[in-house]
Amino acid sequence: MSRSGPGENGQTWLILGASSAIARAFALAAGERGAAVLLAGRDREDLERTAADIRVRTGVRVDVVPFDALDYAGHDATVALCREQTDSLNVFLAFGLMPSQDDCDASFEAVRQTLETNYLGAVSILSRLAPLLETQCQSRMGQNRVVVVGSVAGDRGRLKNYVYGSAKAGLHTYLQGLRARLCRTGVSVLTVKPGFVDTAMTWGLPGLFLVALPTTVAQAIFRHLDRGRDVVYVPGFWYFIMLILRHIPERIFKRLSL
């Protein structure tokens, strides 16, 4: 894989978990804006198909990077590849795992996989990317950007998904600290908290409402990036839904079947 360099707009986006619907939509939107794209994930055949589609639609440079969220030892190699490929790296992280709460209640293995994928995997790769982003931003006198897809589930420990929610809550807190660290060198960190999105993760789940399309989420993320936001709810009405849920007294909240 040859050095890709920045895209027409001077940017390169590393898409972690690029097989997810939101990641695909964001990668295409990045390409439409003239950015080069690095698709990172485990399923190379799937990523190559996505890469070919983005190339045809946008004409930008798209490469595929091997990445496994749980292969912590291999994350240094992913960072090294990014360092070789571009000096203008931006990061979009969208991988995750959401088993049912019943599965988590029945098996600690499901709990472990949920916590490792949604929290430890993200922290592992972001902590390794942080020094590279700081160095690049300082040397280029530009602004590198990090976007991480969290979840509204991390705002409150709900009966129906509190293991998944706890992983996202931990991720949100980590991102607050990372944001404080990176802003000192001009790197921005955007935490995205989607509500229900039409993806493979939510397919067939009962009780879904106001489900957003991945393309809608991707476009909203770019709008918020342009505005310099730190934390956003997508679609925006989820801010008000979660504001209400966060302020329900615990003595009442614990009795709700949410």
Among 72, 119, 162, 164, the active-site one is 164
Say how many domains are in the chain: 1
Instruction: Report yes or no on 6 lying in a domain.
Output: no
**Which residue, 25, 83, 78, is CA-closest to 50?**
25
Which residue range(s) make up the domain with 205? 12-253
pTM of the model: 0.90
* Residue 1 counted as domain residue: no
Structure tokens at 129: 């990317």
Tokens matching residue 156: 């409150």
Active site residue 119: no
The verdict on residue 102 lying in a domain is: yes
Residue 2: inside a domain: no
Q: Locate 126 and state its tokens.
A: 């972001």
The answer to the question of residue 4 being in a domain is: no
In a domain, 5, yes or no: no
CATH number at residue 52: 3.40.50.720
Cβ-proximal residues to 191 (8 Å cutoff; 6+ apart), any chain: 148, 150, 172, 175, 176, 179, 230, 231, 232
Q: What is the pLDDT along the chain (258 residues), one digit of tens a residue?
A: 444 455 555 789 999 999 999 999 999 999 999 999 999 999 999 999 999 999 999 999 999 999 999 999 999 999 999 999 888 899 999 999 999 999 999 999 999 999 999 999 999 999 999 999 999 987 665 679 999 999 999 999 999 999 999 999 999 999 999 999 999 999 999 999 998 776 555 444 455 546 678 889 999 999 999 898 999 999 999 999 999 999 999 999 999 998
Q: Is the residue at 7 inside a domain?
A: no
Q: Does the residue 21 lie in any domain?
A: yes
Q: Which of 29, 53, 50 is nearest to 39 (CA)?
A: 50
